[in-house]
Structure 1
Amino acid sequence: MKNFSLRAGRFLTLALLLIGLGLSSCKKDSTSTTVTGNWTAGNSFPGVTRSGAVTFVINGIAYVGTGNDVSSTRLRDFYAFDPSKGSWTQMTPLPSSAPARYLAAAFSANNKGYVGTGYAQDGTYLSDFWQFDPATPTVTTTTSTTGTTTTTTTLGTWTRIQDFPLTTTGTGRRGAVAGSVNNVGYVGCGFGGNYEKDMYRYNASSNSWTDIGFPGNKRVNAAAFTLNNVLYMGFGTNNAVTDTQFWAYDPSANTWTQKRNLANVSNSTESYDYSGVARTQTAAFAVNSLGYVAVGNNGSNLLTCYEYDPTADSWTLKNPFTGSARSLPVAFGIGNLGYVGLGSTGSTPFDDFWKFDPNAAQQ
């Protein structure tokens, strides 16, 4: 009996030791991954507060404009942001022949910016498209009734290009998604009375649009970023339901590839929950061959931020946005930083802008 008790005691001690080591190992695993990403407030946007604006980047300078202000007035003004100086400069607005707009689409290619489609003040779904050349200033000279001459120089010139193709019901659209790969622009999806599922490529040399198709779901207010010469696109809503499909388009092969769904998946080979990534009206940008989405809406406005690794086809949680939760912001990546700003919460639009360092700890 004594030997049995001794053996039992040793077994119990060994079992407790193994359990303790196991618990220690689990605890270590749960804390071994440090969430990174530092958000810092930058210089506010100098125009009026707004949401649903657009942005494009040319030679390290971001251009931001259009949108909807606090009184739901559509806008056509534009500003340039130089991250090396942290300063904003007012640029030439869209011309008077171009309706002020909200939820337009924009991209850059060959040192030009392109803005089009959107939602006009009178509720028209727009199809016109405009090219912006930042290198060409506009000089206006006016003479008053008293003989005083005033010369005003504004920066950049707008030129109308071929209209974007109409939807199957003959309308323009709002909330389209846009991006560029190797100096070629792509625009598609959106809403023009019906939800759309298409994608068009713009050929600047022939000033024409070519339908390249899109195999995914219909959607509006989607988002995109470009990584390693591949356009990644997803998010948005289809009939008020947040879409969970995420797609990659490789122009060199002219192929679409569906990536992991932004959903909770559990099967015999893997188990993960990416449902927190899914959202609409989000900020999307790329920094150093990785993609990011932040804020947006999935039933309520969000603060969360995720990083996408195209090699692993995986999403990693980053530190949350430290400004106010919002939807319909603008975002861009320049150098090693991402930038997110504008947008709205309910009927309150913002003019703040935030810098994001993906690899730094939150200060």
Structure 2
Amino acid sequence: MPRSESVSFVINNVAYVGTGRNPAALSTNNVYGDFYALDPSKTGSGWSPVTPMPTAAGVRYGAVAFAINNKGYVCGGYGYVGSSTNSTYLSDVWEYTPSTSGGTWQKVASLPTPLSGAVAGNIGNVGLVGCGFDGTSNTNIFYQFDGTKWSTLTNTYPGQPRSGAMSFVVNNQLYVVGGTNNNVAATEVYAYNTSTGWTLKRYLRNVSNSTESYDYSAVSRSLGVGFTVNDKGYVAVGSSTLTTCYEYNPLDDTWTLKNPFLGSARNSAVGFGIGNYGYVGLGYSGTTRLSDFYRFAPNDAQE
């Protein structure tokens, strides 16, 4: 079903994709809580429906998700709680446990504050959620989840508040890329690990000085997707008109242009990596919500 602002997480090389909205006009009928699994090892399309989020969870879009301990977590967003017809910013968190019968959901500890348009990822068995819009303004606060409870990250994120950013995890480091704050593009990139906290990486700008010269301004974007394949990070689509895809190498802090996304330019898609491939799909182009998905092979020759 066409949709945008959905979530995805990966458990044991199976991707789970769900929630979202279609079309632009909001109602409980066009905001979703259903979920589908993609197993690339299966023949055919590989997609199959799994247990939707329960009635108590309502329906939502603009949430974020991550996976730890072989469970998926859907956090926050904007939507309708339970049977309510009044939309609101959400802080609740729902845990998904996969099974051959479709899986089960249960509510766990909520985020300390509502968040929509945030970023998320995991380092080991700890989930991280931060930035986004809290119902009043953009924020730069990050929270960590140990499978039971949430706590504010003691290493304060040094970047400006933002929403619509992208994230990926490479070698136990969470990278936060792009986004906007008050319609101004955020061009700094920060990486977080549990040992050293946050580290500033090269800016997404045209930089030329006495020590280095590079132009990564084309990487900067909002409402794109971030994903990981093997030991590289990727950002693709976003900013309404972009189909470009860039590869990040953490060994030398460089970005390389890769083959473009084959579908139409779009915002608020989902992206994830499984094995040696990335997958990007859904989202919106203009007022049209999309349902198509594409597989990305990072090692294919540059066209």
TM-score range, shorter chain: over 0.9
Q: Which structure has the highest helix share of the two?
A: 1
CA deviation digits over 1:282-334, x for unaligned, max 9? 1111111001111011xx42011100000110101111111100010000000
Unaligned runs of 5+ in 1: 1-47, 138-154, 167-171
Which residue is 2:234 aligned to? 292
Decide which of 65, 76, 79 is 2:36's aligned counterpart: 79
Equivalent residues of 1:303, 1:322 under 8 A apart: yes
Which residue is 1:306 aligned to? 246
* One-letter identity of the residue aligned with 1:128: D
SS of the residue 2:162 aligns to = coil
Q: Is 1:90 the equivalent of 2:49?
A: yes
Alignment of 1:1-363 (within 5 A): 48-70=1-23, 72=25, 73-85=30-42, 86-121=45-80, 122-135=86-99, 137=101, 155-166=102-113, 172-191=114-133, 192-204=135-147, 206-212=148-154, 213-251=156-194, 253-297=195-239, 300-361=240-301
Q: How far 1:362 moved relative to its partner?
A: 6.0
Whose radius of gyration is greater, 1 or 2?
A: 1
CA deviation digits over 1:38-73, x for unaligned, max 9? xxxxxxxxxx10000000000000000000112542
Equivalent residues of 1:202, 1:210 under 8 A apart: no
CA distance in 2, matches of 1:67, 1:127: 16
SS of the residue 1:319 aligns to = coil
Distance 1:159 1:136, change over 3 A: farther
| Higher mean C-alpha displacement, 212-221 vs 308-317 | 212-221
* One-letter identity of the residue aligned with 1:163: S
Distance 1:362 1:70, change over 3 A: farther
* One-letter identity of the residue aligned with 2:250: P
CA distance in 2, matches of 1:358, 1:105: 25
Q: How far 1:221 moved relative to its partner?
A: 1.4
Q: Tell me the number of residue pairs that the alignment of Structure 1 and Structure 2 aligns.
A: 290
CA distance in 2, matches of 1:263, 1:49: 34
With CA pairs under 8 Å and 6+ residues apart, which has the higher RCO, 1 or 2? 1
Unaligned runs of 5+ in 2: 81-85
Equivalent residues of 2:258, 2:302 under 8 A apart: no
Which residue is 1:13 aligned to? none
Distance 1:309 1:118, change over 3 A: same
Q: How far 1:361 moved relative to its partner?
A: 2.5
CA distance in 1, matches of 2:76, 2:292: 25
CA distance in 2, matches of 1:317, 1:101: 34
CA distance in 2, matches of 1:324, 1:233: 25
Equivalent residues of 1:49, 1:349 under 8 A apart: yes
Q: How far 1:232 moved relative to its partner?
A: 0.9
* Shift >6 Å, 4+ stretches: none
RMSD: 1.4
Equivalent residues of 1:285, 1:338 under 8 A apart: yes
TM-score (normalizing by structure 2): 0.92
CA distance in 2, matches of 1:177, 1:126: 15
Q: How far 1:209 moved relative to its partner?
A: 3.0
